[in-house]
Chain A
Amino acid sequence: MDAIILQLLNGLDKGSAYALIALGLTLIFGTLGVVNFAHGALFMIGAFCAVALQRILGTSFVTEDPTQKDFLGNPLKVQTPYLESWFGPETGSAIIDWSVPLAILLAIPVMVAIGFIMERGLIKHFYKRPHADQILVTFGLAIVLQELIRSYFGANPIQSPAPEAFKGSFDFGVMLGFDPNVIIYPYWRMVYFAFSAVIIGAVFAFLQFTTFGMVVRAGMADRETVGLLGINIDKRFTFMFGLAAAVAGVAGVMYAPINSPNYHMGMDFLVLSFVVVVVGGMGSLPGAVAAGFLLGILESFASMNVVKNLLPGIDQIIIYLVAIVILLARPRGLLGKKGVMED
Chain B
Amino acid sequence: MTKSNFTRRGMLKTGAIAGAGVALPTIFTASSARAYTNEPTGGTVTLGFNVPQTGPYAEEGLDELRAQELAVQHLNGEGDSGMMNTFSSKALKGNGILGKKVQFVTGDTQTKSDAARASAKSMIEKDGAVMINGGSSSGVAVAVQGLCQEAGVIFMAGLTHSNDTTGKDKKANGFRHFFNAYMSGAALAPVLAKEYGNDRRAYHLTADYTWGWTQQESIQAATEAMGWETVNNVLTPLASTDFSSYIAPVLNSGADVLVLNHYGGNMVNSLTNAVQFGLRDKMVNGKQFEIVVPLYSELMAAGAGANVQGVFGSMNWNWQLQDEGSKAFVKSFGEKYGRPPSNSAQTCYAQVMLYADACERAGTFDPCGVAAALEGFEFDGLGNGPTLYRADDHQCFKDVLVMKGKENPTNEYDTLEIVEVTPRAQVEYAPDHPMFAGGDLGKCNSGA
Instruction: Give A contacts to B, CB under 8 Å.
Output: 2-3, 6-7, 9-10, 13-14, 68, 70-72, 76-77, 150, 154-159, 161, 167-169, 181-182, 184-186, 188-189, 258-260, 262, 264-265, 268, 299-300, 303-305, 308, 315-316
Asked if A71 contacts B319 (CB within 8 A), the reply is: yes
- The A interface, classified by DSSP as helix, strand, loop or mixed, is mixed
Would you mind naming 22 contact pairs between A and B with Cβ atoms under 8 Å apart?
Answer: A14-B244, A14-B245, A71-B320, A71-B413, A155-B55, A155-B56, A156-B59, A156-B302, A159-B303, A159-B304, A168-B278, A168-B281, A169-B281, A181-B284, A185-B277, A186-B277, A189-B244, A259-B242, A259-B269, A299-B245, A300-B245, A305-B249
A155 to chain B: which residues have CB within 8 Å? 54-59, 62
CB distance from A166 to the nearest CB of B (A): 10
CB distance from A270 to the nearest CB of B (A): 12
Asked if A182 contacts B252 (CB within 8 A), the reply is: yes
Q: How many residues of B contact A (CB 8 A)?
A: 48
Contact with A along B241-261 (1 / 0, CB 8 A): 110111011011000000000
Bound Cα distance from A7 to B246, whole angstroms: 9
Asked if B410 contacts A6 (CB within 8 A), the reply is: no
Asked if B305 contacts A161 (CB within 8 A), the reply is: yes
Bound Cα distance from A260 to B239, whole angstroms: 15
CB distance from A169 to the nearest CB of B (A): 4
B272 to chain A: which residues have CB within 8 Å? 159, 258-260
CB distance from A62 to the nearest CB of B (A): 11
A68 to chain B: which residues have CB within 8 Å? 410
CB distance from A190 to the nearest CB of B (A): 11
Asked if A71 contacts B410 (CB within 8 A), the reply is: no
Asked if B276 contacts A169 (CB within 8 A), the reply is: yes
A304 to chain B: which residues have CB within 8 Å? 245, 249
User: Closest residue of chain A to B238, judged by CB?
Assistant: A316
Asked if B340 contacts A71 (CB within 8 A), the reply is: yes
Bound Cα distance from A265 to B238, whole angstroms: 14
CB distance from A298 to the nearest CB of B (A): 11
Asked if B251 contacts A262 (CB within 8 A), the reply is: no
Asked if A154 contacts B319 (CB within 8 A), the reply is: no
A184 to chain B: which residues have CB within 8 Å? 251, 277-278
Bound Cα distance from A71 to B338, whole angstroms: 10
Given contact pairs A260-B268, A303-B245, A71 touches B58 in the complex (Cβ within 8 A): no
Asked if A268 contacts B334 (CB within 8 A), the reply is: no
Bound Cα distance from A9 to B248, whole angstroms: 10
10 nearest CB pairs, A to B: A159-B305, A155-B58, A169-B278, A303-B245, A186-B276, A157-B303, A155-B59, A156-B59, A6-B248, A71-B340
Given contact pairs A156-B302, A182-B252, A72 touches B331 in the complex (Cβ within 8 A): yes
Bound Cα distance from A9 to B54, whole angstroms: 35
